[in-house]
Amino acid sequence: MTPSLTKITRGLTGARWRVINRDPLEPAASTALDRLRSEIGENGILLRCLLNRGLSNAEEVRKFLAPEFANHLHSPFLLRDMGRAAERLRRAIRDRERIMIVTDFDVDGTTSSVILSHALKLLGAGDLISCYIPDRFTEGYGLSREIVERAAADGFQIIVTADIGIKSHAEARLARELGIDLIICDHHLPDGEDVPAEAFAVLCPKGSSGVDYPNKHLAACGVSLKLADALLEGHEKREAILASLAKITAIGTIADMVDLSASENRAIVVHGLRALNQRSNNPGLRALLKLSQVNYPITAFDVGFRIGPRINAAGRIAHANSVLALFDAKTDEEAMKIAFKLDAMNAQRQHIQHVLVEKLKALIESRQSEPKSEPKSGPKSEPKSEPNSELDRVLVFAGTEAEGFHRGVVGIACSKIVDLTGRPTFICSINEEGIAHGSARSVHGFHLVEALDAISDALVKYGGHPMAAGFTVAAVKIEEMRYRLNRHASEVLSDDDIGQALNADAEITIEDATVDLARTLAWLEPHGIGNPQPLFLMRRLPLRSIQTLKEKHLKFLIGRERTEIDALWWNAVQHRPKFAGADQISLMCRLEINKWNGRENCQLKVIDAALD
């Protein structure tokens, strides 16, 4: 469904405003809406949100709104090599062969390690397992030749990877030569590529290994859950064990930002969140939830912004082994000590990230204030830390650790700059040897892996997703990389693809904004990629008053006496002077329920505002 432009084309933030839904008077849109209303009889605004998410019949809507863990999980054996992988691991347990689990250092990787190790321990492999996570700073991402050789030297017969390995063709060949059976659980396969042929088994929902698997959007922890499911086939407590593992899988799935419109992912996350709201038997999880200061009931927001960052902090600041130790803790006292360390590392990460993001914002502002210069005619040999010209289509920043470009936070900083500018962003951390380790985040229309493919001869290595990627490049090649990325962007990105865009699900009135509607829209949760929190356009609202809160935020009272409502715009105090003398306001906003003194009121969370 193509977004249509409203009369207000941009808000005060500079973002473009659009409404996703078609004109309700258009025959096709009206027919689809009427059909859904007749089939399920729900609120028209909710139905419009469902249509915007690609749901067009009652069965799709029921599955989306009420996903069932037991019924909406696909058979693990739809993955081509699942039977082979499960049989090999069962044989290893029977014959007492050693198994090394090697995963990435992010939330998806560490939760995968927890899922796989717990499932194998339940089957009697406790003394056979060793979990290994590469060090971000000394080893880097992925399954390396050194890890395979070390496993062989230490007598391991099997390596199981998760969230890494899908591009490790040479390492798969080496493992085979050294007599190690390599089982890969991953989801990063780029379009047009296939899985390592010399691996013993590959479990991936994409490529030849996943041709029959319906859900192409599983996170690696989801693939690990599928392997656990296959291993537990016939186990008397299989359903209870899988239901328990779903808590950890939900955390990894949300944190890895995979598509939450996929029915299987929704089933995992909905069930996992429900289970997280019950007391856990795992001391580590209890400690993590306590220090994360989550609200109850726990939501996808709590996982994404409170729980996930604390898990991620270990691999960003020190070593992710702390996460495995947390979930292996036997007592509450032991677990709390580890959780406190994770919490401290997260606070350190937040500070480093804040300093870097503020530095990048200043660089962007200084560049925007300069007269627009002509684009460079070609690549240069020296790196630079700020985008060229007024603002490049693709922003590339680089600096050393001493300059604040900490390797562990460049990915998060990328996301912040993309949110600010609406442009693909690459940030490089240069080490003492002149090698830059970088992260990239993107916007729709700019496929990062395809972009990196286009400049692969300038890179040491790279990998990732369409919207998030990592790469290694020699520092002297950074300016060439910037030039070529922007040349590629000029071919694939239009002017409309650049900059922030806010796409509203519908235009609503102040009378529509009620507690009942907010509760109804909550049926769409959990929110994430593929299922964003509903956004609405409200036009020409009477502006009765405006306040500044804590010198940072704005609070509006809008409407008339019988239909007044509060609207909060966080971190927007810089826009206050623009409202001098204004008596009307238009908003891009979300509905929230404010609970205070036993009363509930609907309030608006402002994302952007405009003055006619």
Token pair for 337: 């000590």
**Residue whose pair of structure tokens reads 């493992």 in the numeric block:** 175
- pLDDT, residue 35, reads 76
- pLDDT, residue 388, reads 43
Distance CA 239, CA 246 (A): 11
Pick the closest to residue 606 from 6, 2, 7, 13 (CA basis): 13
**DSSP state letters, 127-156:** TTEEEE---TTTT-SS--HHHHHHHHHTT-
| pLDDT grade for 27, boundaries at 50, 70 and 90 | low
- pLDDT, residue 37, reads 78
**DSSP state letters, 72-85:** HPPPGGGSTTHHHH
Percent of the chain past pLDDT 90, that is, above it, reads 81
Residue 32 has pLDDT above 90, yes or no: no
Q: Which domains does the chain have, with CATH numbers?
A: 4-20+502-610 (2.40.50.460), 80-235 (3.90.1640.30), 370-497 (3.10.310.30)
- pLDDT, residue 42, reads 72
Distance CA 466, CA 562 (A): 48
Percent of the chain past pLDDT 70, that is, above it, reads 93
- pLDDT, residue 598, reads 84
Please, what is the average pLDDT of the chain? 91
- pLDDT, residue 56, reads 83
Sign of the Cα torsion 442, 445, 447, 450 reads: negative
Distance CA 419, CA 410 (A): 14
Contact 511, 563 (CB under 8 A): yes
The helix (H) or strand (E) run that includes residue 59 is helix 58-65
Pick the closest to residue 243 from 269, 280, 275 (CA basis): 275
List, for residues 470-488, the tens digit of each pLDDT value: 999 999 999 999 999 999 9
List, for residues 41-89, the tens digit of each pLDDT value: 778 899 999 999 988 888 889 899 999 998 889 999 999 999 999 999 9
Q: How many other C-beta atoms are found inside a 10 Å radius of the C-beta of residue 552?
A: 11
Distance CA 600, CA 544 (A): 21
More confident site: 536 or 380? 536
- pLDDT, residue 371, reads 59
Distance CA 52, CA 85 (A): 39
* The pairing of beta strand 181-185 with beta strand 158-162: parallel
- pLDDT, residue 464, reads 83
More confident site: 144 or 189? 144
More confident site: 365 or 103? 103
* The pairing of beta strand 16-19 with beta strand 501-504: parallel
List, for residues 290-306, the tens digit of each pLDDT value: 999 998 899 999 999 99
- Preceding omega of 297 cis (within 30 degrees of 0): yes
Contact 576, 551 (CB under 8 A): no
Residue 2 has pLDDT above 50, yes or no: no
| pLDDT grade for 246, boundaries at 50, 70 and 90 | very high
**Residue whose pair of structure tokens reads 């404010």 in the numeric block:** 594
Residue 523 has pLDDT above 50, yes or no: yes
What is the CB-side half-sphere exposure of residue 14 using CA atoms within 13 A?
A: 8
- pLDDT, residue 458, reads 97
Cα dist from 43 to 58, 109, 122, whole Å:
14, 40, 46
Indicate the length of the chain as a whole number: 612
Residue 589 has pLDDT above 90, yes or no: yes
Q: What is the mean pLDDT of residues 228-248?
A: 95
Pick the closest to residue 113 from 289, 323, 304, 339 (CA basis): 323
List, for residues 113-136, the tens digit of each pLDDT value: 999 999 999 999 999 999 999 999
Tell me which of 16-25, 410-419, 439-448, 542-551 is least confident: 16-25
Distance CA 374, CA 157 (A): 59
Residue 518 has pLDDT above 70, yes or no: yes
- Read off the pTM: 0.90
Q: What is the mean pLDDT of residues 496-506?
A: 90
